[in-house]
Each structure stands twice: as C-alpha cells, then as structure tokens.
Amino acid sequence: MNELFGADTIGMGFRGSLRMQSSAPFAVVGLRFSGYVFSTLPTVASAPVPGVPSISAGVGGSSALIVPQFVISGGWASQIALVNNTGATVSGRIDVFDASGNPMVVGLNGETKSSFTYSIPVGGTFLLTPRDSNGQSPL
C-alpha cells in the first residue's frame, strides 16, 4: 500500500485513524503534509512486536506506551491523538519527561503542566496539542 486516501476523495480537513492488521509482518510510515512542509506521524503497535524492546521497569505500567519524539519549539509542534476503538470509555494519563527522565512542564491544550489526564468515550478521540492564546492549534 503506497497511498491510502487522496485529498480529492476525503477532503483536506479530514481527521481520523487507521487500524491495520496482517498475518505477515509489515512496516508503516505516516506522513502529514501541509503544502511543501511535512512531518512523520508516529505509529503504535497494539500488541507486542518481536524484536522491539519493551518499556523499562518503573516507567508507566504494563499498558504504558512511550512516544520517543515530541517537539514544541522552533516552528515545530507535535500532537498526540488517541482513539478509543473499544466498547467502553477509556481513561489514562500522559506524562511528559525531559531527556533525563524528569517531569517536564509544557503548554498543551491550554494548560501548563507535565501530566495530562484524559477520558475518551466509545468511538471518541482525544488530541493533546499546543494551542495559542485563542485556543487554536498550529497543526
């Protein structure tokens, strides 16, 4: 698969998620384009993947995920998008750490702190993104 959707099919304002599954191994790369500017989109495996290191003891818990690339500076911004595809409301916490593993205070969703909680209804989404004083995201 080298292209999933064309802008003429779904429109430029589309936001959504994609879930893929296969009986054979495959690789995924996601790209977000805005004119000539683009960035990679991180992907997350919903089940253990052979050969991929596990999360270190003491970090998060058994269901913790680590997003190794996150930026808010220099004209760049990252956004974390969570999708609830289960049959019940899900809740949790997103913690932001600096390169040394210490809690790092950042401004996301109009709040300045290092830990952000969420509750996502069935079929819902949660976006954690930098916002300006008017509540607008640069993404």
Tell me the C-alpha distance between 54 and 60, whole Å. 12
Please compute, for residue 42, the number of CA atoms within 13 A of its CA located in the half-sphere on the CB side: 14
Nearest-angstrom CA–CA distance, 130 and 112 = 10
pLDDT tens-digit profile, the chain (139 residues): 445 555 566 666 666 766 777 777 666 666 676 766 666 666 666 666 665 555 555 566 666 777 767 777 777 778 888 889 899 999 998 888 887 778 889 888 889 999 999 999 999 999 998 876 666 676 6
What's the pTM value of the predicted model, to 2 decimals? Answer: 0.59
Distance, in Å, from the CA atom of 128 to the CA atom of 107, rounded to the nearest integer, reads 10
* CA–CA distance, 31 with 56 (Å, rounded to integer): 28
